Structure 1
Amino acid sequence: MVSKIVENTELHLLNEVQFLCFLIEEDGELYATNVFKVREVVHYTDVITKTEGEDNGVVLGFITMRGESIPLLDLRRWLFYNPESKVNNLKEFSINSSKELVVICEFSGYTVGLKIYSVKRIIQRNWNEVITGSQYGFQKNGKVIATTKFDDGKIIQILDVEKMLSEVFPMVSGDESIGMQTLERINSNKIILLAEDSASVTKSMQFILEKFGLRYYTFPNGKGLLQFLEQSDNVQSIGAVITDLEMPVISGFEVLKQMKNDKRFQHIPVIVSTSMSSDSNIQMAKSLKADAFITKLKPIELEFELRKILEHTSL
């Protein structure tokens, strides 16, 4: 299955993406995640180490893959999980399957296993065919980040796995985390532009930038950011651009390519913020002249890069 993945560089040059499509219940709705966040798909037959307490949450326990202990999450339970509720008995929403079919994902420096019902297949789409938000009415409490269509026209709901990580493991991106508490003000009056399609990551990034005391504008994809640059009458006021790589409509790779090939904007430092673990993503971004790289949900990395860029370039 994963062997069918096209080389990253070819996809990025075409502004295209691949999604692993799957079901979480028999004859149910189609869901997907970016295939470059997927390390492997396995039928897990070994022991699952149960978590302490009652078996009613999103985390089913821990599986062991090649000596690595990985938390196993029931994806269907997460869709019904409300982090603001004190009562979350999710047993009735469990995936009903006799086999442990697990998607091993790597993103933002973390590895998790996602229990699903069955795999459909990998599809390839241009980012223009990916619709941000819940245009087709699938709200899922903001857990669906975008939609696209399967070959038969059926809607595919693309899940916000970064939101899943922050909801199930709030210590990863919580406002009171150690990484957040150590952040200090950055002495600069320049404006930061942020392109990020995940609402949960955007919220965390806004909190971080406010801790720095910086002014900023946020955009749900690269198109909005590039339009802002085109319409700006004071490009010198922009201190840095922070962009995700994989985004609907216009990706971060296209943002890099357009900015660094335009004399008006090529001087603006571009920081790539990515949850991808693939080295090819970084190599591609480097070839497009990215100035720095940070891992999503790692505020200390962002502080280091912004401080280096901004503290000697105030207006």
Structure 2
Amino acid sequence: MNNREETFGINVFKVREVMRIPAITRAPEMPASVEGMVSLRGALVPVIDLAKYIGIETDCKPGIMIVTEYNGHTQGFLVRAVDNILRLDWASMRVPPAMLVAEMGGLVTAITELQDNRLVMMIDVEKVLSETTNFDSDALIIKSVQPLGKERTVFFADDSSVARHQIARTLDAMQVKHISAINGRQAWVELAKMADCAEAAHTPLKDMVQVILTDVEMPEMDGYMLTRKIKADKRFTGIPVLMHSSLSSSSNQQLGKAVGVDEYVPKFEPQKLAQTLAKLLG
């Protein structure tokens, strides 16, 4: 979506279709950026105007609707135009500067530069959905999560502030200690430090952390590369890796298994996440 010479991006794997904007039915008591609902093949889909959500004032009306599917939720995003579909390596993505994070309220999770020198800001769609729909309405489900009853620690990595909050809430309900990182590279740096400390103390690393949980899509180092590094380092022997992602298709799960992931849980199912963690934590 372009405006004020700004370009935003979302992962094409989460895009179901791109279409002209159909008739939108207005609904009462919705956030200002939610235009209403549309009927797609018999299903009611909420429609979000991304420019309004981001706070961009423009005279240009949106002309395209991008239909996306995240964690079993379908929604439409209104944008001015779709420029291009590009294949980009997550290693080429960079963590956005602190000033941009503050200005955008955590909406941008990664940034990269195109060949024409334009900067593309990757949108945290989970954050958009949590603030405009009932995507984050898992409080009652999390309340039903039972305490583990054992002292355990989980290290998790996710670039989405919403996802990190959801994971932390689940672990808190389980009464499990946790350490977090905002991307794969930061996670690897912190985990390597922990491994060095354990080695210096002649203590198995698995006594310090019992499960590593990772997202797939993260700037600078994705979950696949992080898992490869963990599985290639003997110091992490006995520590299972749980992949937790909105990319939950069988092909994505197979990619995870190929790099050594022990379990794969789709976002965001707190009860299933808690059950899987309980099994891995023993």
Q: If the length of structure 2 is used for normalisation, what is the TM-score?
A: 0.88
Equivalents in 2 of 1:136, 1:257: separation in Å? 32
Contact 2:90 2:218 survives alignment (8 Å): yes
* 2:156 match: secondary structure: strand
* 1:41 match: secondary structure: strand
Are residues 262 and 41 of structure 1, via their aligned partners in 2, closer, same or farther at CA, if it must alter by over 3 Å? same
Match of 1:5 in 2: none
Runs of 4+ in 1 over 6 A off after TM superposition: none
Which structure is higher in strand share? 1
Greater relative CO (CA pairs within 8 A, separation 6+): 1
Match of 1:49 in 2: 25
- Which blocks of at least 5 consecutive residues in structure 1 are unaligned? 1-21, 81-91
Aligned-pair identity (%): 27
The residue identity in structure 2 corresponding to 1:295 is P
Match of 1:116 in 2: 79
CA RMSD, 1 decimal: 2.2
Equivalents in 2 of 1:277, 1:308: separation in Å? 20
Match of 2:201 in 1: none
Q: 1:60 aligns with which of 16, 35, 50?
A: 35
The residue identity in structure 2 corresponding to 1:202 is R
Equivalents in 1 of 2:187, 2:82: separation in Å? 35
Equivalents in 2 of 1:124, 1:282: separation in Å? 20
Q: 1:267 aligns with which of 238, 242, 264?
A: 238
Q: If the length of structure 1 is used for normalisation, what is the TM-score?
A: 0.79
1:252-303 residue CA offsets vs partner (Å, 9 max, x unmatched): 0012222223332242111111012433211111222312122223211111
* 2:278 match: secondary structure: helix
Q: 2:150 aligns with which of 176, 181, 188?
A: 188
1:40-73 residue CA offsets vs partner (Å, 9 max, x unmatched): 111133x3222125x8712111112222221111
The residue identity in structure 1 corresponding to 2:144 is T
* 2:210 match: secondary structure: strand
Match of 1:78 in 2: 53
The residue identity in structure 2 corresponding to 1:60 is E
Equivalents in 1 of 2:95, 2:261: separation in Å? 25
Equivalents in 2 of 1:98, 1:223: separation in Å? 36
- Which blocks of at least 5 consecutive residues in structure 2 are unaligned? 199-203
Which is worse superposed, 137-146 or 185-194?
A: 137-146
Equivalents in 2 of 1:163, 1:134: separation in Å? 18
* 1:131 match: secondary structure: coil
Contact 1:51 1:61 survives alignment (8 Å): yes
Are residues 267 and 56 of structure 1, via their aligned partners in 2, closer, same or farther at CA, if it must alter by over 3 Å? closer
Match of 2:160 in 1: 198
Which is worse superposed, 267-276 or 138-147?
A: 138-147
Are residues 206 and 250 of structure 1, via their aligned partners in 2, closer, same or farther at CA, if it must alter by over 3 Å? same
Aligned ranges for residues 301-312 of structure 1 at < 5 Å? 301-310=272-281, 312=282
Are residues 277 and 293 of structure 1, via their aligned partners in 2, closer, same or farther at CA, if it must alter by over 3 Å? closer
Match of 1:254 in 2: 225
